Structure 1
Amino acid sequence: MTRPMSIESSRLPWITAAASFGFLVTQLDVTIVNVALDAIGDGFGAPTAQLQWVVDAYVLALAAMLLSAGAIGDRVGPRRAFLAGLVLFGLASAACGFATSPLALILARAAQGAAGALLIPPSLALIARAAHGDDRRRAAAVGWWTAAGGVSIAAGPVLGGLLVESLGWRWVFFVNLPLCAIGAVLTLLVAREAPAKPKVPFDLVGQALAAAAVTLLVGGLIEGGHRGWSGAPLAALVAGLVLAVGFVLFERRAPHPAMPLSVFRRRPAWSAVVVGSALNFTYYGLIFVLGLYMLRVLHWAPAKAGLAFLPLTATFIVSNLLSGSLVGRFGAKVVTSGGVLVAACGYALTARLGAGSDLLDMLPGFALIPGGMGLAIPALTSGLLASVDRHDAGAASGVLNACRQVGGAAGVAIFGALAGAGMVTGLRTSAVVAAVMLAGAAAVLLAPARKASDR
């Protein structure tokens, strides 16, 4: 007999749409700003280093606050946390648009990133609750949620270019205001608040240690890629690692931990973090190098280079939507490992590119990399949500997404350093490293479990 759906479960498509607005705006602001940097620099007379931090401040704050956002959502309720994130993201976007100096813009971008963190774990928690334990429907919903991010990444450069040319660079931030408003209204209409966790003391020490560790690690990686791996960047990395170890030790004994370590004793949870970090490391790292390769080796115009990425992004969206149905049929583990191996093959093909390559040479890799990534990420996320208690969904997804952001920053820094020694050689080396890393990630997923609790 088919179990009747709850009211919340019957609203899953609408709740998924509302939750997707949160992921859409956070991903849109990763790419839409890049095409406005020249205009921002001209308007403020800002040097390149300051323009770099207009981008990096957002990523840094987003990564640093994701774990805290998951814990906040679990305690106050995902609906309240998500609505607060939309309001704060809109206010921070307005502050960006009205900024009168580079420093003001950088600080507002950091506020944007912190607010964006509050949109990701609670949005997944809303989906997990509405799916009501139905793995197939949850996987399909996560696929749509992930596809919203893919659409926004693809639309970012195009929309940003149109806004800069027609209305000015400030409108790449103002465009977030109606998007946040639509997401908030839809959430108020269709989502109900989940029961919050018991009112326990907030783990301020754990949250502070986690945020400081991620800030130092990501900041050290960003600066190390520009200034070299010594001095301040190296000190930041060492301090970040020390604080990360301190965070884990503290959480093991904390009476009310921000990150319940027991959640990650099961294999599906910790393997999701490992594989998710590898996926972001390889993808964002190689896309960064490919962009430089198109501009500096192939001497393509920026517009042509941007359009060259559209096939890659389109494949990502299609595979995102396909992932949910495949998870319902074959299971999250099979789909995730298959997607990781497909992406690894795409990176291996990309290693063949050289100084005389053209778009046709890139297309096989551009089809397989996002095809595999698009299959793997929704399946990975759905598998993680299925392996934890619904009350821990926000914290678990916060850890996953925080580690993915750190992985992406590491990939950009390390692959960028490889490219600095020689663009073509760096691209090929990066592609080989990416293929080997993902092959290893697939091995982690496919290795047989040694005990029942690991399954």
Structure 2
Amino acid sequence: MTSAPAGSRVLLPLALAQFICSFAGSNMNVMINDISEDLDTTVQGVQVAITVFLLVMAALMIPGGKLTDRYGRKRCFLAGLVTYGVGAVLSAAAPGLGVLVLGNSILEGVGTALLIPPVYILTTLLFTETTSRARAFGVIMGLGGIGAAAGPLIGGLITWGLSWRAAFVFQALVIAGIVLLSRKIEDPLPPDPERPFDVRGAVLSAAGLILVVMGVLAADNNGWLMLGLIVGGALVLAWFFRSARAKERAGEEPLLSPSLFRNRTSNLGLITQNVQWLVLMGTSFVVATYLQVVRGYNAIETGVIFTAATLGLLASSLAAERLAARRPQRTLIMAGFLLTAAGIGVLLALVAGTPNPWAFTPGLLLIGLGLGVMLTPSVNIVQSSFPEHQQGEISGLSRSVSNLGSSLGTAVAGTILVSGLSQHAYAASMITVAAIAVLGLVAAALLPRSAAPKAKVEGAAR
């Protein structure tokens, strides 16, 4: 078991890594006008850059989780940090949208896919007691949620005070700090260089996810192209699962074991994770774009308005441990979705009735509170449903599902919004996000009342 002081030293770099990756996914939302003017591009061009970043993370998270078994968790963590840092520096110096996509969307996306699975695997392996693990996940998910919610405020402050390029310099500096702090981390399991890696599975899974999300992005341009890409993506993913089953039957190790999907509790937990991040990133992109393009607010004004969501998420994240001790995880997830859906309803009702920018505050506060309540229980349910030898696979799958939700949130809500930047398009985007939140509530209601049984949790610690 990790002692408290040692645990704090290990937990800090892991939590900061989740913070900066979540921050990167949302801070560009308040730079839309500045980036599009500086790089001579459009709102849709910036949306594509944001979505591709989130999509690269989702597409490569499963292979990234699998590589930790072969090369070691700490080694993959450091490789991801370095790759991310190079991407941040390149983004800061980008002369055009193409270089920004290379630095931010590709290199930062690849770096995140390498470094995030080790965060969750190391947390599961190093914090072996149920209470300490729940606390550790609470800190990591809390900082992750705060990074996503505070991204617009921090990004707005930096953009207003310096420039949008300085926000990427900020990311590079944080990454350098994490590299120094991570010297204290020790990998509890030795790497297995002989562990096979399913290259075909990695290619198929990534291609399938990319096609599906690109299909959503094509919705406002060509309906037939959208349909073709989504159907093509679904077929490639079906091919991936068929290949995985064939490998498993032949006694070989696939990229992702189909047996992971035989756990009903984990499956429902994964759905709630996907929806939570879809709602968070979808809301962030839509509200930030609307404030800047329709209302004409600058980066700092937009970021300040988002402070309500940050404060709500921070408050509920800080209370996560106490709430987990008093309420079942299923109850917390359901309560989170109810608060979030109510927040979207309040957001729509108040904003429609007044031009006052503070009309956004009550709704964003409720959304932040709801998301903070449920982020940690969803992760804990999924991670604790599997034993130690499957932590690499389930961590990669869990993060892939969450980041797929992030990319779909930006793609779905953003596509509806940029197809017609008006009050009607804003409302349509938010209503779509609210409807998806209700689907998350239904999935949460189907979770067993005692999700992540104790036996499973203890099994993961052995």
- Structure 1 residues 96 and 78, CA, compared in 2 at 3 Å: closer, same or farther? same
8 Å contact from structure 2 (residues 10, 184) kept in 1: no
Which position in structure 2 is the counterpart of 1:244? 237
Which position in structure 1 is the counterpart of 2:336? 339
8 Å contact from structure 2 (residues 69, 195) kept in 1: no
Q: What aligned pairs does 1:251-330 form with structure 2 within 5 A after superposition?
A: 251-254=244-247, 255-294=252-291, 303-330=300-327
Which position in structure 2 is the counterpart of 1:441? 443
Mapped to 2, the partners of 1:350 and 1:161 lie a distance apart of 21
Match of residue 118, structure 1, among 108, 114, 136: 114
- Structure 1 residues 125 and 73, CA, compared in 2 at 3 Å: closer, same or farther? same
8 Å contact from structure 1 (residues 324, 379) kept in 2: no
Mapped to 2, the partners of 1:211 and 1:121 lie a distance apart of 16
| 1:22 matches 2:17 | yes
Which position in structure 2 is the counterpart of 1:188? 183
Using structure 1 for the length normalisation, give the TM-score. Answer: 0.87
Which position in structure 2 is the counterpart of 1:394? 392
Could you tell me which amino acid in structure 2 is paired with residue 131 of structure 1? F
Mapped to 1, the partners of 2:168 and 2:292 lie a distance apart of 26
Which position in structure 1 is the counterpart of 2:460? none
Mapped to 1, the partners of 2:340 and 2:44 lie a distance apart of 33
Match of residue 356, structure 1, among 353, 356, 372: 353
Which position in structure 1 is the counterpart of 2:134? 139
Mapped to 1, the partners of 2:450 and 2:25 lie a distance apart of 37
Mapped to 2, the partners of 1:240 and 1:219 lie a distance apart of 9
8 Å contact from structure 1 (residues 139, 325) kept in 2: no
Mapped to 1, the partners of 2:375 and 2:84 lie a distance apart of 25
Deviates more, 1:414-423 or 1:252-261: 414-423
Could you tell me which amino acid in structure 2 is paired with residue 209 of structure 1? L
Could you tell me which amino acid in structure 1 is paired with residue 310 of structure 2? T
Which position in structure 1 is the counterpart of 2:57? 62
Give how far 1:115 is off.
Answer: 0.6
Could you tell me which amino acid in structure 1 is paired with residue 368 of structure 2? P
- Structure 1 residues 221 and 377, CA, compared in 2 at 3 Å: closer, same or farther? same
Mapped to 2, the partners of 1:300 and 1:42 lie a distance apart of 15
Give how far 1:245 is off.
Answer: 0.9
- Structure 1 residues 435 and 239, CA, compared in 2 at 3 Å: closer, same or farther? closer
Match of residue 196, structure 2, among 170, 192, 201: 201
Q: What aligned pairs does 1:222-237 form with structure 2 within 5 A after superposition?
A: 222-224=217-219, 226-231=220-225, 233-237=226-230
8 Å contact from structure 1 (residues 335, 376) kept in 2: yes
Match of residue 99, structure 1, among 94, 98, 110: 94
Which position in structure 2 is the counterpart of 1:157? 152
Deviates more, 1:144-153 or 1:368-377: 144-153
- Cα deviations across residues 113-152 of structure 1 (Å, max 9, x unaligned)? 11111121111111111111x1211111111112222333
| 1:175 matches 2:175 | no
Deviates more, 1:369-378 or 1:425-434: 425-434
- Structure 1 residues 347 and 100, CA, compared in 2 at 3 Å: closer, same or farther? closer
Mapped to 1, the partners of 2:194 and 2:349 lie a distance apart of 56
Mapped to 2, the partners of 1:326 and 1:40 lie a distance apart of 41
Which position in structure 2 is the counterpart of 1:90? 85
Give how far 1:433 is off.
Answer: 1.3
- Cα deviations across residues 147-168 of structure 1 (Å, max 9, x unaligned)? 2223333443344344445544
Which position in structure 2 is the counterpart of 1:211? 206
Using structure 2 for the length normalisation, give the TM-score. Answer: 0.86
Which position in structure 2 is the counterpart of 1:410? 408
- Structure 1 residues 424 and 46, CA, compared in 2 at 3 Å: closer, same or farther? closer
Give how far 1:403 is off.
Answer: 1.7
Unaligned runs of 5+ in 1: none
Could you tell me which amino acid in structure 1 is paired with residue 432 of structure 2? S
SS state at 2:210 partner: helix
- Cα deviations across residues 40-73 of structure 1 (Å, max 9, x unaligned)? 4444434555433332331221121111111112
Unaligned runs of 5+ in 2: 458-462
RMSD over aligned Cα, in angstroms?
Answer: 3.1
| 1:373 matches 2:371 | yes
